[in-house]
C-alpha cells in the first residue's frame, strides 16, 4: 500500500474505468430491491420531487425578476411567479424531511438482508475450516460492517448514498439544461468541471478508506485488547495479576499503530487541495462572469441573468462532496466484500451428496491413512492414521496435550476434511454422505461446549432440534439417569430456569454443573437416534469421584451406541473396551487397559505416574 494517495489520471476517464464505475454504482442501486415496495415507492417520490423542483426554482426566479423589472410593474403580476417559486421550494423541503425517515428505514432493511446473507454464507459449508481462515473472516466482517468511524459504513448507507448522488446529479443536469437555454457551452463546461472537482476530491478521500481497510489486522489487535480490558472473559486474570494498566497501554499502542498511517495520509490529502481550489475558482468565475458580462453588454436581460445564476449555482453544487460520498465509498467496500464472500462460498461448496447415513445400528467407522494439517499451517497434526471404531464399542483416546485428540474428533464429526486419506462409515466415505444425516447419527460433548443463554430445557433439547420436545417427566428421567438431578433441584424454576451468563433475570451454573447439564444433552441426543457419542474431556471440571459417577451414569445410559471418550485422566478410561494412545499425530499404542499395562509402554508409565500422584494426595 502506497502512502501517497493516487493522483488524477486520464486513465480515470477511459471507457473501462467509466464502465466499471457505472457497474459498481448500479450494483449499489440494485440493493434497493431489498426494500419493501411501499418504502421504495415513497422513497422514489421524495427523490423525484427535489429533482423536478430545482429547475423550476430557476425558471420562477426568472419570472419574478421579469415581472419586477417590466415597464408597467403591477404587484399582482408577482403572485403566480412567487407562488410557483414558493411551492417548488416547499415541495423540495417537504420531500427532504420525509426522505430522511424513509432513507433510514430503507438503509436498515438493506443492512439486515446483507447481514443475514453473510450469516447464511458463514453457516453454509458443512465444515468449519473457512471460519478459521483470516481472509474469510476479514471479508465477512467488512460485508456486515456497521462502522467504526463517524459515519455508518454499511451496504444500506452506500445504496442510499448512491440514490442521493444520482438525484443530485439529475438535478445538476436539469439545471444545466436551464442554463443551456442561454449558454449551451458554458452549461457543458460547468457541469464537466463540477463533476471533475468532485471526482478528484472523492478519489483523495477514498484512498484514506483503503488505507484504513489495509490496516484491518491492526484493527483486530485493538479489538482484542479492548475486549480483554472490558469483557468478562479475562476479567479474573486481569484483576488478579494487576494487568489493568498494562492492558490499557497495549490497547493504546495498538490503536496508535492502527491510526498512524491513516493520519499521515489524511494530512497529505489536506495539504493537496490546490488543484481542486483552483478548479473551483475557475468554475465559479465562469458561472458568474459569462452571464454577468452578457448582461453588462445588454445581450442578456436582468431576468435571464437571474435564471442563469440560479442554474449555475445549481450545477456547481454537485462539486461539493457531501456526506453521501463517504457513505458510498465506505459502504461499497462492504458490497464488494459480499460479492467476494459469495464467490469464496461458491468455490468452497461441498461435493454432491450421493448417499444418506444409516439410522440403524451404530456405524463401523474407519480412519484410513488419514493425515490432516490445519488450513494456514504447515505442520501435520495427524499423520497416516489408521483407526477403527467398532459398532457399540467404548473407545478411549488418550495422549498428551496437543497430540491431536480433539482434531481427530473434529474430523470424525465432519467439521474438517482429511488432507489426505479418508474416513468411512459402514464403507461409505464421509465426504459422500449427507453431512446433516451423518451429524444426526452422532452427538458430541466438547470440552468447550456452548453455554446457551436459554432455559435448562432448551440447553438439553437443542441436541436434537428435529424432534418434538417431550414432556417434563421424560426429560427428568434422563436428568436422573445422567446424574444431574441435584443440579436441577437447585434451580428455582427447574427446567424453565433461564441460564443467562450476564442477563438480568437468569442465573449461571458452575463449570461442573454445566458439564452435567451438557451430559444430559448428549443422552437426549442418543434418545433421539444418535448412535455414536463423542465425549471430549467431558469431566475436566469434576473431581475424581464425580468423574467416576459421571462415567457410570452417562456411559451406562447410552445403551448400544458407540462411545469415543477423550480424557487426560487415565483412571477414567480404564473400563473402556479399547484404549488408543496418540503421540505426535500417530497411534503409538492400542489395546485394553490390561493389555497396555502388560505391554509396559508409555501408557503403563503414565498410568502408574497418575496413580502414584493420586495415592500420595490421598495419603496426605
Ligand atoms: N484451529 C487450529 N488451527 C491451527 N492449529 C490448531 C488448531 N486447533 C488445534 N491446532 C493445533 O493442532 C494440534 C493438536 O491440537 P488438538 O486440540 O487436537 O490436541 P489435543 O490432543 O486435543 O490437546 P489437548 O489435550 O490439550 O486438548 C496442536 O498443536 C494445536 O496447536
Q: Are 140 and 220 in contact (CB under 8 A)?
A: no
Q: Is a pLDDT exceeding 60 seen at residue 502?
A: no
C-alpha cell at 219: 484493527
What number is the average pLDDT over the span 432-442?
79
The string of DSSP letters for 31-96 reads GGGGS-HHHHHHHHHHHHHHHHHHHHHHHHHHHHHHHHHSTT--GGGGHHHHHHHHHHHHHHHHHH
Distance (Å) from CA 450 to ligand 1 centroid: 18
Spacing, Cα 419 to ligand 1 middle (Å)? 16
| 380 and 343 assigned to the same domain | no
Q: Which residues make Cβ contacts (< 8 Å) with residue 541, sequence separation at least 6?
A: 510, 511, 512, 514, 515
Is the pLDDT confidence value at 356 over 60? Answer: no
C-alpha cell of residue 56 = 423550476
Paired residues of 65 in beta bridges: none
Report the SS3 class of residue 543. Answer: coil
> 130-134, 202-206, 295-299, 394-398 — which is least confidently predicted?
130-134
Residue 347 — pLDDT band, cuts 50, 70, 90? low
Query: Is 3 a member of any domain?
Result: no
Query: Which of 300, 316, 347 is a domain's end point?
Result: 347
Ligand 1 pocket mutation, candidates 133, 370, 405, 585, criterion most atoms within 8 A of CB: 405
The full DSSP string for 316-349 is HGGGS--HHHHHHHHHHHHHHHHHHHHHHHHHTP
How many angstroms separate the Cα of 52 from the Cα of each of 167, 171, 362, 392, 399?
A: 10, 7, 73, 77, 76
pLDDT at site 563: 92
Quick: pLDDT tens for 301-333: 999 999 999 999 999 988 887 777 778 876 777
Nearest CA to ligand 1 atom 28: 402
- The mean pLDDT value of the chain amounts to 83
Q: Are residues 470 and 524 in the same domain?
A: yes
Residues 549 and 503 placed together within one structural domain of the fold: yes
Residue 149 pLDDT > 60, yes or no? no
- For the chain, the helix, strand and coil percentages under 3-state DSSP, each to the nearest 5: 65, 10, 25
Query: Is 5 a domain residue?
Result: no
CATH code for position 199: 1.20.1560.10
Dist. CA 196–CA 574, nearest whole Å = 79
Is residue 361 lining ligand 1, measured as CB closer than 6 Å?
Answer: no
Q: Do 548 and 404 fall within a single domain?
A: yes
Same domain, 336 and 373: no
What is the 3-class SS of 159-176, one letter each residue? Answer: HHHHHHHHHHHHHHHHHH
Give the model's pLDDT for residue 23.
87
36-45, 199-208, 269-278 — which is least confidently predicted?
A: 199-208
Distance CA 285, CA 10 (A): 25
| Section 555-583 average pLDDT | 86
612 domain residue, yes or no = yes
End-to-end CA distance of the chain: 64
Q: Whose CA is nearest to atom 9 of ligand 1?
A: 407
The whole-number pLDDT of residue 69 equals 84
Ligand 1 center to residue 459 CA distance, Å?
Answer: 27
Ranking 105-109, 269-273, 390-394, 434-438 by mean pLDDT, the lowest is 434-438
In DSSP terms, which residues pair with 581 in a beta bridge? 398, 589
**What is the model's pLDDT at position 193?**
94
Residues 6+ apart with CB under 8 A from 525: 443, 463, 464, 533
Ligand 1: centre distance to CA 389 (Å): 21
Q: How far is the CA of 397 from the centre of ligand 1 (A)?
A: 14
Shared domain check, 389 and 295: no
- Which H helix or E strand runs over 387? strand 382-389
Q: How far is the CA of 132 from the centre of ligand 1 (A)?
A: 13
| 44-53, 236-245, 442-451: which is most confident | 44-53
132 lines ligand 1 (CB under 6 A): yes
Q: Which residue has the higher pLDDT, 105 or 500?
A: 105
pLDDT of 441-495, one tens digit each? 888 888 778 788 788 888 888 888 777 778 888 889 888 888 888 888 888 888 8
Q: In this predicted structure, what is the pLDDT of residue 381? A: 92
Say if ligand 1 is within 6 A of residue 446 CB.
no
Q: Coil, strand or helix: which one is 561?
A: coil
Whether the Cβ atoms of residue 406 and residue 535 lie closer than 8 Å to each other: no
C-beta 299 within 6 A of ligand 1: no
Q: Is 380 in the pocket of ligand 1 (CB under 6 A)?
A: no
C-alpha cell at 419: 488432507
Q: What is the pLDDT of residue 3?
A: 46
Question: What contacts 257, CB < 8 A, 6 or more positions away?
Answer: 218, 221
Give mean pLDDT, residues 350-379.
Answer: 75
**Domain-ending residue, one of 315, 347, 379:** 347
- Indicate if ligand 1 lies below 6 Å from the C-beta of 2: no
| pTM of the model as a whole | 0.61
CA 461 to CA 70: how far, in whole Å? Answer: 86
If you take atom 30 of ligand 1, which residue's CA is the nearest one? 402
59 is in which domain, residue-wise? 10-347
pLDDT number for residue 369:
93
Cβ of 376 below 6 Å from ligand 1 = no
Rounded Cα gap, residues 444 and 442, in angstroms:
7
Dihedral sign for Cα atoms in the order 549, 553, 558, 560: positive
pLDDT at 4: 47
Look up the CATH number of the domain holding residue 567.
Answer: 3.40.50.300
Residues near 559 by Cβ (< 8 Å), separated by ≥ 6?
Answer: 526
Residues 474 and 548 in one domain: yes
> Residues 6 or more apart from 196 whose CB is under 8 A from it?
279
What pLDDT does 353 receive? Answer: 43
Q: How many domains does the chain have?
A: 2
How confident is the model at residue 432, as a pLDDT?
84
Pairs from 256-259 (Cβ < 8 Å, separation ≥ 24): 257/218, 257/221, 258/215, 258/218, 258/219, 258/221, 258/222
378 lines ligand 1 (CB under 6 A): no
Which ligand 1 atom sits closest to the C-alpha of 407? 18
**Residues 422 and 317 placed together within one structural domain of the fold:** no
Count of CB atoms within 10 A of residue 527's CB? 20
Set of cell numbers at residue 246: 498494562
Of 202, 142, 139, 195, the residue nearest 331 (C-alpha)? 142
Number of H helices, E strands in the chain: 23, 10
Pocket probe mutation, ligand 1, options 130, 380, 407, 411, max atoms within 8 Å of Cβ: 407
Of 289-293, 419-423, 476-480, where does mean pLDDT reach its minimum? Answer: 476-480
Ligand 1 centroid – CA 405 distance (Å) = 8
Tell me, using a 6 A CB cutoff, whether residue 130 lines ligand 1.
no
Residue 541: per-residue pLDDT: 66
* Residue 381 alpha carbon to ligand 1 centre in Å: 7
Q: Cell 497434526 identifies what position?
A: 381
Give the least confident one: 61-75, 322-336, 420-434.
Answer: 322-336
Q: Which of the residue ranges 234-248, 333-347, 374-388 would you say has the lowest mean pLDDT?
A: 333-347
pLDDT score for 370: 94
Q: Please give the pLDDT value at position 276.
A: 85
* Beta carbon of 539 within 6 Å of any ligand 1 atom: no
Q: Poorest-confidence range of 33-42, 138-147, 287-296?
A: 138-147
The number of the ligand 1 atom at minimal distance from the alpha carbon of 408 is 18
Q: Do 117 and 200 lie in a common domain?
A: yes
Radius of gyration in angstroms for the set of CA atoms belonging to the chain, rounded to a whole number: 35
* Residue 357: inside a domain: no
Backbone torsions φ then ψ of 465, nearest 5 degrees: -65, -20
Measured in Å, residue 535 CA sits from the centre of ligand 1 at 16
Residue 123 is placed in which grid cell?
A: 453457516
How far from 345 is each of 128, 166, 316, 410, 559, CA to CA, in Å?
A: 12, 32, 45, 21, 40
Pocket probe mutation, ligand 1, options 372, 381, 409, 445, max atoms within 8 Å of Cβ: 381
Question: How much is the pLDDT for 351?
Answer: 47
Confidence at residue 222, expressed as pLDDT on a 0 to 100 scale: 87
Distance 554 CA to ligand 1 centre (A): 26
Determine whether the shortest distance from the Cβ of 287 to ligand 1 is under 6 A: no
Task: Look at residue 583 and give its three-state secondary structure.
Answer: strand
**In a shared domain, residues 194 and 289:** yes
Q: Is 177 helix (H, G, I), strand (E, B) or coil?
A: helix
Å from CA of 138 to ligand 1 middle: 23
Is pLDDT larger for residue 583 or for residue 238? Answer: 583
- What is the reported pLDDT for 1? 42
Report yes or no on 354 lying in a domain.
no
Pair (264, 127) in one structural domain: yes
pLDDT band at residue 128 using 50, 70 and 90 as cut-offs: low
Check pLDDT > 70 for residue 619.
no
pLDDT of residue 183: 95
Cell of 100: 430522511
Could you tell me the CA-to-CA distances from 198 to 93, 276, 477, 605, 612 in Å, in that order? 24, 8, 72, 76, 79
Tell me if 1 is assigned to some domain: no
Query: Higher model confidence: residue 264 or residue 233?
Result: 264
529 domain residue, yes or no:
yes
pLDDT value of residue 345: 64
Residues 113 and 254 in one domain: yes
Where does a domain end: 347, 375, 405? 347
- Which H, E and C letters describe 201-258, residue by residue? HHHHHHHHHHHHHHCHHHHHHHHHHHHHHHCCCCHHHHHHCCCHHHHHHHHHHHHHHH
Q: Using a 6 Å cutoff on CB, does residue 375 contact ligand 1? A: no
Amino acid at each position: 500500500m502506497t502512502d501517497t494517495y493516487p493522483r488524477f489520471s486520464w486513465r480515470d476517464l477511459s471507457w473501462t474505468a467509466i464502465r466499471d464505475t457505472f457497474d459498481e454504482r448500479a450494483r449499489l442501486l440494485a440493493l434497493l430491491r431489498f426494500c419493501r415496495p411501499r418504502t421504495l415507492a415513497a422513497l422514489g417520490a421524495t427523490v423525484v420531487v427535489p429533482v423536478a423542483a430545482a429547475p423550476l426554482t430557476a425558471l420562477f426566479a426568472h419570472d419574478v425578476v421579469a415581472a419586477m423589472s417590466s415597464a408597467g410593474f403591477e404587484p399582482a403580476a408577482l403572485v403566480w411567479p412567487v407562488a410557483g417559486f414558493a411551492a417548488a421550494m416547499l415541495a423540495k423541503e417537504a420531500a427532504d424531511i420525509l426522505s430522511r425517515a424513509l432513507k433510514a428505514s430503507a438503509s436498515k432493511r438493506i443492512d439486515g438482508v446483507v447481514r443475514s446473507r453473510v450469516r447464511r454464507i458463514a453457516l453454509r459449508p458443512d465444515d468449519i475450516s473457512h471460519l478459521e481462515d483470516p481472509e474469510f473472516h476479514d471479508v465477512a466482517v467488512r460485508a456486515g460492517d456497521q462502522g467504526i468511524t463517524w459515519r455508518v459504513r454499511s451496504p444500506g448507507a452506500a445504496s442510499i448514498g448512491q440514490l442521493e448522488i444520482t438525484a443530485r446529479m439529475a438535478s445538476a443536469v436539469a439545471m444545466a439544461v436551464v442554463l443551456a437555454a442561454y449558454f449551451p457551452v458554458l452549461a457543458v463546461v460547468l457541469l464537466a468541471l463540477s463533476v471533475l472537482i468532485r471526482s478528484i476530491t472523492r478519489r483523495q478521500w477514498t484512498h484514506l478508506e483503503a488505507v484504513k481497510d489495509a490496516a484491518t489486522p491492526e484493527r483486530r489487535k485493538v479489538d482484542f485488547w479492548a475486549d480483554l480490558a472490558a469483557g468478562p472473559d479475562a476479567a479474573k486474570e486481569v484483576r488478579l495479576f494487576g494487568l489493568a494498566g498494562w492492558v490499557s497501554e497495549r490497547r493504546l499502542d495498538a490503536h496508535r499503530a492502527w491510526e498512524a498511517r491513516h493520519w499521515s495520509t489524511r494530512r497529505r490529502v489536506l495539504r493537496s487541495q490546490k488543484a481542486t481550489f483552483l478548479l473551483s475558482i475557475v468554475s465559479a468565475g465562469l458561472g458568474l462572469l459569462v452571464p454577468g458580462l452578457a448582461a453588462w453588454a445588454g445581450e442578456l436581460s436582468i431576468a435571464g441573468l437571474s435564471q442563469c445564476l440560479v442554474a449555475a449555482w445549481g450545477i456547481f453544487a454537485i462539486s461539493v462532496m457531501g456526506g453521501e460520498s463517504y457513505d458510498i465509498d465506505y459502504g461499497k467496500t462492504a458490497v464488494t466484500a459480499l460479492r467476494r464472500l459469495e464467490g469464496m462460498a461458491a468455490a468452497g461448496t461441498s461435493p454432491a451428496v450421493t448417499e444418506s447415513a444409516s439410522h440403524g445400528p451404530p456405524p463401523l467407522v474407519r480412519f484410513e491413512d488419514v493425515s490432516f494439517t490445519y488450513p494456514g499451517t504447515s505442520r501435520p497434526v495427524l499423520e497416516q492414521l489408521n483407526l477403527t471404531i467398532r459398532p457399540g464399542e467404548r473407545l478411549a483416546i488418550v495422549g498428551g496435550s496437543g497430540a491431536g485428540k480433539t482434531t481427530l474428533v473434529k474430523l470424525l464429526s465432519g467439521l474438517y476434511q482429511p488432507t489426505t486419506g479418508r474416513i468411512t462409515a459402514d464403507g461409505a466415505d464421509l465426504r459422500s454422505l449427507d453431512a446433516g444425516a451423518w451429524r444426526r447419527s452422532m452427538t458430541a460433548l466438547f470440552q468447550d461446549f456452548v453455554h446457551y443463554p436459554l432455559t435448562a430445557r432448551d440447553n438439553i433439547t437443542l441436541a436434537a432440534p428435529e424432534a418434538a420436545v417431550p414432556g417434563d417427566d421424560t426429560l427428568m428421567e434422563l436428568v436422573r439417569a445422567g446424574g444431574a438431578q441435584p443440579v436441577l433441584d437447585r434451580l428455582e424454576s427447574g427446567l424453565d430456569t433461564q441460564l443467562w451468563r450476564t442477563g438480568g433475570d437468569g442465573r449461571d451454573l458452575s463449570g461442573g454443573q454445566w458439564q452435567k447439564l451438557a451430559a444430559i444433552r448428549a443422552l437426549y441426543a442418543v434418545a433421539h437416534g444418535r448412535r455414536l457419542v463423542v465425549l471430549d474431556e467431558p469431566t475436566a471440571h469434576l473431581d475424581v469421584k464425580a468423574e467416576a459417577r459421571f462415567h457410570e451414569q452417562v456411559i451406562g445410559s447410552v445403551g448400544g451406541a458407540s462411545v469415543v471418550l477423550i480424557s487426560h485422566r487415565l483412571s477414567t478410561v480404564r473400563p473402556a473396551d479399547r484404549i488408543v494412545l496418540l503421540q505426535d499425530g500417530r497411534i503409538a499404542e492400542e489395546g485394553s487397559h490390561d493389555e497396555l499395562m502388560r505391554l509396559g509402554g508409555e501408557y503403563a508409565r503414565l498410568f502408574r505416574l497418575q496413580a502414584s500422584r493420586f495415592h500420595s494426595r490421598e495419603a496426605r
